[in-house]
Chain A
Amino acid sequence: MVRALGDLESTIMDRMWSYRRPASVRDVLEDLRREREIAYTTVMTVMDKLHKKGLLRRHPVGKAYVYETVSSKEAYTAGLMRETLASGGNQAATLVHFLERLSPEEAAALESALRVYPPKGRQE
C-alpha cells in the first residue's frame, strides 16, 4: 500500500511536470483516469501530501485548490546530484566515487594509461 502510494506520488509529479502549467485535482484525476480507475479522494490526498512535502505549491480558486510544481524536474535532479557529489564528506550515506576533479595533466595521464594497453582488451 505504501509502495503504491509512493508510485502514485511519482506518477502525479511526472504529470504535473509535463503540464508546465497549474492544474487542479480534477485535471489530474481526468488525466489519470484515461489509464486506470482511481478515486478523487486518493488523488487529492496524494497531491496534498506533495504540497506538504514542498514539491507542489497551491492557491485556492473557487472551492478547490490549483496546484503547480515548485520547480522543474531538472532543477530537482541537479540539486540532488550536486548534494550527492558534495556529500563526499559523508560517504557512509551515498557511496560516490570517481569524484576526483582532474587537472588536464591528470586526465591526459589517464587517457594515455588506457592507450598503451593493447587495443584488443579495449574492444567491447
Chain B
Amino acid sequence: MTDALILAVYTVAACALLARPLSAARWAERAPRLAIAMWLSACASVVGSALLAVLTATVPADAVGHGLARLFELCTMMLAEGPGASAWAALGVCAITLSRLAASLAAVLVRARRERGRHAAMLALLGRPDRALGAIVVDYAEPLVYCLPGRAAKTVITTAALRSLSTSQVAAVLAHERAHVRGRHHLVLAAGEAFARAFPFVPLFDVARREVARLIELRADDVAARRHPRAQIAAALVGLATGRVPAFVMGAGGQSALTRVRRMLRPAAPLARGERLAGLATVALLLGGPAVVAAAPAMSAFIAHHCHALSLL
C-alpha cells in the first residue's frame, strides 16, 4: 500500500513541480536532443506512475513474493471467482487512461497525415521541383522555408526566400529542413502533442509540448551546423525572420529566433561526458523509477521468502 501512496504522491508532485526545473535548465540549449528525451520521459513517467499507483493499490504485492506457484494460485482464484470490484475498477482506469493516450496520438497523426496529403496535392499544382536544390520552389512574395515531413517528404522554399538569401544561406536553411525530416521530428512533436491533448488539465504536458517544439528547431540547427557555417545559418534566420511582411499574427515573440541566432554565432561548449551521463541517468530514472517503486514490495517479499539469510539482516 505504501508503494501506491509513494507513486500517487510522485505523480501529483511531478505534474506540479517537474516543469519548472526542466524549463529553467540552461543546459537544454547545449544538448537539445537530451532535453527533448527528458521532457518526453517526464510525461511518460507521470502517466506510468499514475497507472502503477492504481494497480499497486489493488493487487496484493506479496502475491509475487510467495513464488510463482502462489501467483498462479491467485490468478486462477481471480479467474474462477472473477476479480473483485476494486480490481475491476483499477483495470478500468488503466484501460481508459491508456486508450485515451493512444487515441489522441492516433488523432494527431491521422490529422497531420491528411493535412500533409492535401498540402502535397496542391504543391504538385503550384510549385515546381528544383532538382539542384532538392526542394520545391513556390512563387510567393514572402520568404518562407518549410518541410512536409513523412515518407514522401518535401522541402519547400518560396521565390522570395531564394531572392533574399544568398546561395550558402539557402543551402544552410535547406539542411535545417532536411534535419527535421531525417530526425523524424514530426513524430517527436506528435508525441508531445498527444500527451497535451489527452490530458489538457496537466500543465506539465502543455509546457512539454511547447518546449519540444522549440527544442527540435535547436536540434535541426545543430545538425545543419555540422556541414554549414554557423554564421550562414544565423544570417539565414535573420533574413527570414526580419524580411517577413507581418501579415499573419503568430503567437510566439521573437525571443526564440534571437536565442537561435545567438546560439549559432556563439556556440556553447557541448555537454561534458559526466553531464551527459547524468542527463541520461535522469531519463532512465524518470522512465524506470515508478516501475522500481511499484516492484519494490514484491521484490522484498520475494527476497524475504527465498533468501532467509538476507531477511535476517
Contacts and interface: CB of A to CB of B under 8 A. Distances in A.
A92 B108 contact: yes
Contact of A77 (B140, B147, B250): B140
Contact of B186 (A55, A86, A88, A92): A92
B257 A94 contact: no
Contacts of B189: 91-92, 95
B140 A81 contact: yes
B206 interface: no
Interface in B240-256: 240-242, 244, 246, 248-256
A110 B250 contact: no
A4 B124 CA distance: 12
Contact of A106 (B146, B166, B254): B254
Interface in B108-123: 108-109, 111-113, 115-116, 119, 122-123
Contacts of B148: 93-95
A99 B242 contact: no
A95 B125 CA distance: 20
Contacts of A110: 237-238, 241-242, 254, 257-258, 261
Contact of A94 (B147, B158, B251, B261): B147
Interface residues of B, number: 66
Nearest to A83: B119
Given A95-B186, A102-B241, A114-B234, A81 B254 contact: no
Interface in A68-88: 73-74, 76-78, 80-88
Given A94-B116, A121-B231, A102 B242 contact: yes
Given A90-B111, A95-B185, A121-B229, A107 B241 contact: yes
Nearest to B139: A77
Contacts of A113: 234, 238, 258, 261-262, 265
B interface, over-half SS: helix
A85 B193 CA distance: 18
Most chain-A CB neighbours within 10 Å: which of B122, B146, B180, B256?
A: B146
Nearest to B173: A98
A interface, over-half SS: helix
B217 interface: yes
B31 interface: no
B125 A94 contact: no
Contacts of A103: 253-254
Contacts of A74: 139
Contacts of A13: 125
Which 3 pairs across A and B sit closest by C-beta, in order of nearness? A106-B254, A121-B231, A92-B112
Given A86-B248, A93-B113, A102-B241, 20 more contacts: A78-B140, A80-B126, A81-B142, A92-B190, A95-B146, A95-B180, A98-B145, A100-B241, A100-B254, A101-B249, A102-B242, A102-B246, A107-B241, A109-B254, A109-B258, A110-B237, A110-B241, A114-B261, A121-B231, A124-B166
